[in-house]
């Protein structure tokens, strides 16, 4: 209950304070490339239920049909504005609406696409007892995930065998120990990782 109140209050504050920036980003995206301003993708949320996550569009139209993983800062599917938005996590701002709606929280395991959740073991599925979040331990640890995938000769294999298991391990740590204080620490660490 406390966490939900925190999410509602701060998502509203965030939307109000960032509104001019949201409008500016929307205009720049529209000028930079054809297509919609927002990108919505089906993700797996709490209790293994699907929902749509909102982001600013950073890729060319239908780019996700060429692969679900983004590989490095020179992925040809990413627009010129998209590189900047991704680098500073500005593309994540629309998820404030996900938080306000209630299908996401500020802190919680990053929601996966169904394709990768299908690889979860029964014990891994325990993570889905939590509401997914904008940030978590794994978001901080894998701040340079796209670069790791770019350096791999087989990005899909690297994600499934190296990155995803570590994300799951970190999510289980959060599953077993989480509270408002820990959430606040994760938020500040996330902001620090973006700034630095």
pLDDT for position 53:
97
| Report field, pTM of the whole predicted structure over 0.85 | yes
pLDDT at 64 over 70: no
Residue 78 · residue 59 · CB < 8 Å: yes
Instruction: Name the phi and psi angles at 101, rounded to 5.
Output: -60, -40
Lowest-confidence pick of 65-74, 87-96, 150-159, 162-171: 65-74
Residues 143-156 have pLDDT tens digits of 888 888 888 889 89
| Mean of all residue pLDDT scores within the chain | 91
Q: Which pLDDT belongs to residue 19? A: 97
Q: How many domains does the chain have?
A: 1
Query: What sign has the CA pseudo-torsion 113, 118, 124, 125?
Result: positive
Count CB-CB contacts under 10 A for residue 20: 9
Residue 142: half-sphere exposure toward Cβ, Cα within 13 Å: 24
Q: Can you give the residue range of the structural domain that contains 102?
A: 2-195
The tens digit of pLDDT for each residue in 12-54 reads: 999 999 999 999 999 999 999 888 999 999 999 999 999 999 9
Please provide residue 73's backbone torsions phi and psi, each rounded to the nearest 5 degrees: -85, 5
Phi, psi at 136, each rounded to 5°? -160, -175
């Amino acid at each position: 209950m406390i966490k939900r109140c925190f999410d509602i209050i701060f998502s509203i504050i965030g939307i109000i304070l960032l509104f001019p920036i949201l409008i500016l980003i929307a205009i720049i995206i529209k000028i930079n490339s054809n297509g919609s301003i927002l990108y919505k993708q089906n993700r797996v949320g709490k209790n293994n239920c699907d929902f749509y996550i909102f982001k600013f569009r950073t890729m060319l139209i239908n780019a996700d049909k060429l692969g679900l993983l983004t590989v490095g800062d020179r992925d040809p599917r990413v627009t010129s504005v998209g590189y900047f938005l991704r680098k500073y996590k500005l593309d994540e701002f629309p998820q404030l609406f996900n938080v306000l709606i209630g299908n996401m929280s500020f802190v919680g395991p990053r929601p996966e696409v169904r394709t990768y959740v299908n690889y979860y073991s029964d014990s891994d599925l325990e993570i889905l007892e939590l509401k997914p979040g904008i940030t978590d331990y794994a978001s901080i640890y894998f701040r340079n995930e796209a670069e790791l995938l770019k350096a791999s000769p087989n990005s899909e294999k690297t994600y499934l065998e190296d990155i995803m298991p570590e994300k799951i391990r970190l999510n289980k740590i959060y599953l077993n120990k989480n509270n408002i204080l820990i959430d606040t620490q994760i938020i500040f660490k996330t902001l620090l990782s973006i700034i630095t």
